Amino acid sequence: EDKVVQSPLSLVVHEGDTVTLNCSYEVTNFRSLLWYKQEKKAPTFLFMLTSSGIEKKSGRLSSILDKKELFSILNITATQTGDSAIYLCAGDTNTNAGKSTFGDGTTLTVKP
Amino acid sequence: DAGITQSPRHKVTETGTPVTLRCHQTENHRYMYWYRQDPGHGLRLIHYSYGVKDTDKGEVSDGYSVSRSKTEDFLLTLESATSSQTSVYFCAISKGQGYNYGYTFGSGTRLTVV
């Protein structure tokens, strides 16, 4: 059975701090690792990672994948209160169906 | 958002009644998914569809059925609702042809079974 584990489950930081969110996976026929941000409503897509060691970056967010050690990290620098959200990672499989196995998420709270 | 809508947004129903949730997309994507989200469990796949009349089960499909008679509509039915099916239900579309470039989710349906 495929499994994705995120840590920590929750995190409280102050504005300006840098945070690192972790995601480890055991996914049969692994193809890609995806990160989403969920605020009050539906998750929104952040990154898709398919190759080891290549950093994806969007503003203050960046992510990298290690396919040998089966994990990914999401970094957020200079955090802002608007970064408060649940961050979800998901493993996608090479099954031509686009199905994903999600982790339980990390709840990030950024205090002013 | 991105042409995917869910209805209803909220529903309260009684144990034992059938319930149908609707997902509608306007972008003609082939792949559609139903997930449920519960505290401590992340998102879990219920059913998915890879075309009209083509559906398959996910990891938590017991007690649910789906239908897709048109490309744009994917219906999720709880055949006889139970309290354990109280959850937030998300529909998602995938823009790739079986390759997940990142889902676009609907706004969700909050279902309460009393």
User: How does DSSP classify residue A54?
Assistant: P
Domain range for B69: 4-113
**What digits encode the pLDDT tens for the residues A20-72?**
999 999 999 899 999 999 998 899 999 999 988 899 999 999 999 999 999 99
- Which CATH superfamily groups domain A3-111? Immunoglobulins (2.60.40.10)
**What digits encode the pLDDT tens for the residues B10-35?**
999 999 999 999 999 998 888 999 99
Sorted by where each begins, the domain ranges of chain A are 3-111
What is the residue whose two structure tokens read 């139970």?
B82
Q: Average pLDDT of each block of 10 consecutive residues along chain B (114 residues)?
A: 87 97 93 92 92 92 96 96 97 79 93 97
B89 interfaces chain A, CB cutoff of 8 Å: no
Give the pLDDT band of residue A93 (cuts 50, 70, 90): confident
Domains: count for chain B: 1
A44 interfaces chain B, CB cutoff of 8 Å: yes
Q: Which CATH number characterizes residue B100's domain?
A: 2.60.40.10
Closest chain A residue to the Cα of B30, Cα to Cα = A97
What is the residue whose two structure tokens read 């999720």?
B76
The yes-or-no verdict on residue A86 having pLDDT over 80 is: yes
pLDDT of residue B97: 66
Interface test mutation site (partner A, options B23, B33, B38, B43, max chain A beta carbons within 10 A):
B43
pLDDT of residue A1: 86
Task: Give the pair of three-digit tokens for residue B29.
Answer: 């994507």
Task: Give the pair of three-digit tokens for residue A73.
Answer: 């990290």
**A positions 62-91 inside 8 Å of B (CB):** 88, 90
Which letter, b or e, does each residue of A7-23 get, where b requires 16 or more Cβ atoms within 10 Å of its Cβ? eeeebebeeeeebebeb
